[in-house]
Structure 1
Amino acid sequence: MDQAPGSPRDPQGPGDQGPRDAKGLPTCYRHPDRETGVRCTRCERPICPECMVSASVGFQCPDCVRDGSGTGHPASATQPRTLAGGAVAADPRLATKVLIGVNLAAFVVQLALGDRFTDSFDLFGRALLSGEMQGVAEGQPYRLLTAMFLHGSYIHIMFNMLSLWWIGGPLEAALGRARYLALYFVSGLAGSALSYLLAAPNQPSLGASGAIFGLFGATAVLMRRLKYDMRPLIALLVINLIFTFSPGFNIAWQAHIGGLVAGVVLGYAMVHAPREWRALIQYGVCALVLLVVVVATLVRTAQLT
């Protein structure tokens, strides 16, 4: 493994100001390609969200946490934590890789088995398939979840998986694996629930877009917290929303909006919860959003049956 710039064995010690890019802006001492305005509270080296470890005051870099700098305790006594309080993982993108793998595997099964597989697990309220009524209203609520892992075309899954890699990876590193997965699944379920609530009962819907828009929303909250330039993200989100509401694209806008709203709410809870109540607030808000999903599902089911 290559030695990270600015590590204790690197000539650039903790007291240095750290690398800068061509514009003279500070860049992370471990990831020189990433601009950042946040510095370690101990050594003052610039750190990106992936390298931030939450401390009692501000954030520390992984090297200071590992060495127990200034604490009087061995490195093993300090548990590295992400900005949101999650455990720092050896592979900060593992969950994102697994989610991409599951989506791709499901798509391969779709291609192999055809419509009979997709029709059994996509999302719709109720519809007549193969001579029988099927759907969430027919006692198949699992479709709210399984529809998140099905896609309608190569283009559909390509855009969703590219978005998941570009946005999900850094977000996973900033939140920690458990919080990231909670965000992904709850946002996806919120998107499915809003589709079920508002769409026509025989209108099929599928795809990871609700969860992806949830990641968009949480990323916006995180970038605002870190005082990053949000214009690129806002531009990308606006472009996606234009496509969402453009006629002719046959996009389930309800899933996008439901996921986006849930992502903003969950993202705010993840990065702004006070330290002493952090886990309770974070997972409590997840539970509240899930409760809304359940209520919306029950209300729509009562309307259709």
Structure 2
Amino acid sequence: MNNKFSGAIKHLIIINVIVFLIPQLLQLDLTNMLALHFPENENFGFWQYVTHMFMHGSFPHILFNMYGLWAFGTPLEQLWGRNKFIFFYFSAGIGAGLIYTLVNYYQFNGIYDQLMGFGLSSGDIQNILNTGGYNEAVITLPTETMRKFYSLYHTPAVGASGAVYGVLVAFGLYFKDAKLALIFFPVPIAAKYFIPVMILGDLFFGMTKYSVGNIAHFAHIGGALIGFIIAYYWKRNHFKSI
């Protein structure tokens, strides 16, 4: 298998690196414009379902995503061809953003309804979202819940992780016996076992309070789900490149 940079992947990595480096060199903050915001937030734009895939919060963030894109995407592009791989990549990334938004909407509206139950008006709730302050004597929800409510509204999502998870799942479907390992778990494990464990881990951390760091677990799950659906259909129908 040829592990050299293939056409689409090379250009995707170049674009990601440019979008990461240029704003830092020019001291520009493009977060409000390009990161994926909650739809009720004033900074939200539909284009962000695409642009957030090229935004990264740190050097390790972009490093691991681009390594995953290269390592697992290269054999898939060689198998499918450039155009089909690009379609797959953007479908997984956009799907990840949509599913992430839907989960956030569900969680946000659940807390919103509880606040309405305390007798607050929509204006009162918007003031909480604008300032972060509220009357604890009236609103008896846990502090953690109110922080989450504020964070859902204000914290944008960035990164190619959702698309890369789709690529990872597709790799596992087509190359299920390939041995994979992580730095913190260096024992090689077949992709058909390794990848499901990673996704289950995201599901666990996404549904509990044990998540470490500001990670959009449901974007990972969304990308994995869309990637699985497309790759499974193509594999079942013996689709390769044209």
1:198 touches 1:254 (CA, 8 Å); kept in 2?
A: yes
What does 1:211-290 correspond to in 2, within 5 Å? 211-224=163-176, 228-229=177-178, 231-233=189-191, 234-235=193-194, 238-239=197-198, 242=201, 245=205, 246-273=210-237
- Select 1:154's aligned residue among 59, 66, 88: 59
2:97 touches 2:162 (CA, 8 Å); kept in 1?
A: yes
CA gap of 1:218–1:198, structure 2 versus 1, over 3 A, is: same
Deviation string, structure 1 residues 188-236 (Cα, Å, up to 9, x no partner): 0000111121222333101000000000111122124xxx357432325
Residue 207 (structure 1) aligned with residue 159 (structure 2): yes
Deviation string, structure 1 residues 105-144 (Cα, Å, up to 9, x no partner): 100123134563122110011466xxxx221xxxx20001
Which residues of structure 1 form unaligned runs of 5+? 1-47, 51-90, 283-305
2:161 touches 2:220 (CA, 8 Å); kept in 1?
A: yes
Specify the SS of the correspondent of 1:134: coil
Residue 100 (structure 1) aligned with residue 59 (structure 2): no
- Please give the alpha-carbon distance, in whole angstroms, between the structure 2 residues aligned to 1:114 and 1:196: 29
Amino acid at match of 2:8: A
What does 1:290-301 correspond to in 2, within 5 Å? none
- Select 2:84's aligned residue among 176, 179, 183: 179
What does 1:118-157 correspond to in 2, within 5 Å? 118-126=31-39, 133-135=42-44, 140-157=45-62
Residue 198 (structure 1) aligned with residue 111 (structure 2): no
Amino acid at match of 2:169: G
Higher helix proportion (structure 1 or 2): 2
Amino acid at match of 1:211: A
The number of residues matched between the two structures is 179
Amino acid at match of 1:134: N
- Structure with larger RCO (C-alpha < 8 A, sep 6+): 2
CA gap of 1:237–1:119, structure 2 versus 1, over 3 A, is: farther
Moved over 6 A (4+): none
Specify the SS of the correspondent of 1:249: coil
* 1:241 Cα offset (Å): 5.6
Query: TM-score if structure 2 supplies the norm length?
Result: 0.65
- Please give the alpha-carbon distance, in whole angstroms, between the structure 2 residues aligned to 1:155 and 1:240: 20
Which residues of structure 2 form unaligned runs of 5+? 105-151, 180-188
Percent of paired sites with the same residue: 30
- Please give the alpha-carbon distance, in whole angstroms, between the structure 2 residues aligned to 1:243 and 1:191: 13
2:199 touches 2:221 (CA, 8 Å); kept in 1?
A: no
Specify the SS of the correspondent of 2:173: helix
How much is the aligned-residue C-alpha RMSD, in angstroms? 2.7
Specify the SS of the correspondent of 2:8: helix
